[in-house]
Structure 1
Amino acid sequence: MKEPLLEIDSLCGGYKSFRLQEVAFTLNKGDFAGIIGPNGSGKSTLIKTLLGDLKRSSGTMLLEGKELSAMPVRQKAQAIAVVTQHIEDTSMSVLEYVLLGRLPYRELFQFFEKKEDVARAEKYMELTGILKYRDQPLSSLSGGERQLAAMARALTQEPKLLLLDEPTSQLDISHQVQVLDLVRELNCELGLTVLMIIHDLNLASSYCNRLLLLDGGKLHTQGAPDEVLQFSIIEEVYKTVVVTRPNPVTGRPTVFLVPRHQIEKLKKERVINE
């Protein structure tokens, strides 16, 4: 039986102009879940509300049965790590940047890094393939390399839950695969639970075992990729005509956009198939 890690129930909150409405889902330990939906559907609002950056008006948010809002900041920082799409442009070394992940564990009046913290940082830098950049300024790294450095920093936190905010949005396909392969490896081999905002539906299908589809601040559909990525659901939410077919290698659904000049042809084919 799967053990719940994050339990969200009847969650409402956000901005005055846009609010989440009765969002409810459970994230089990070891899940790799993707949050998908059109622009303005509430993906970032949901993450910010979970982190306490935005105020909720009602509902519950439990992490291992404990109310998130009642957890001390230090304890919450130890349990949840976040990787955003915008990585800081800083002159600090890659090692110094990755060691920021140990801040939630620092003792009062601790002015120097412990040897075991440096060892942890180097372990995750090696795992993410950036140990060779250890002493280089973070600003000298490429976008993909910075994303890996941010991942190493988050892993150095040794969290129970990893939140990813569009980690591949500014990367080419090679680096997209590199980053998501790493996340999946961590998810499968270390049992790290992942909740990721992602726009690319095909990447979401390829890597996530669960999808949460948001629309207008509401949770429209949730489930396995083949349950969520059905053409009728996507067309309803995204207002775009699509075709879905199984990936010939993975068997998971792949979404194909249909150009406007081909829509009539598709409609005729659908009528014939019906």
Structure 2
Amino acid sequence: TNTPIGRDGKLAKPRQLHNTHWGLVCPAETPEGQACGLVKNLSLMCYVSVGSPSEPLIEFMINRGMEVVEEYEPLRYPHATKIFVNGTWVGVHQDPKHLVSQVLDTRRKSYLQYEVSLVREIRDQEFKIFSDAGRVMRPVFTVEQEDNLEAGIEKGHLVLTKELVNKLAKEQAEPPVNPDDKIGWEGLIKAGAVEYLDAEEEETSMICMTPEDLELYRLQKAGVALEDDLGDDPNRRLKTRTNPTTHMYTHCEIHPSMILGICGSIIPFPDH
């Protein structure tokens, strides 16, 4: 990506990485000299949305109790949540929690395009949906928010199960004859195990660094006293202390090294 700013300026601010660039822009790969920091490169798993029509989405929400903006009476429903689709105010809803969970469920079951992003701003009483082109997104593992009896996944566990991983491993060892039987990356998205987030939706998510950290968090919530790992292994990963105020993780990183771009990731031991 090329930032449209004059190269002759000596400003440092536009050249610096912003917190929202995590996982989307490589922190290492940038040219030297005047273009430093102004020319950025995408991270390994980064994806740019191609856009999808928003009309079916609006129709879906009208059928789920959304009141269109033309019929909205502010005095009757002063605390209704506003719903925006691609920046346009389309309507209001009385029960936003239920609506958000329904729209999220349709996305995880792949009835809705996986690149549609859903942002619920509870403080501002807004629910923003984006389905336009040109948004930078990245995949993360999803964490089950409620006990899923159907799939046999407990609350707080990854939706990616051992069964799915074994199927993928078997598939790599001996590819299926029929291409329709292939799971692959698309299969993980359809199963709801992987979800694409853009910078806006990431602001409303709680993302854990590794599945191991997710396990430690669950043990901490269960009241198990955790000992600090003070081993003398020089190759061990530096971990941030678990925050006791964390309410619930919604997603988990696929791998911390995915923040790097193509050139940054081929450097041996980039984490040392």
TM range (shorter): under 0.3
Larger Rg: 2
Q: TM-score, normalised by structure 2?
A: 0.26
- Structure with the larger strand share: 1
More helix by share: 1
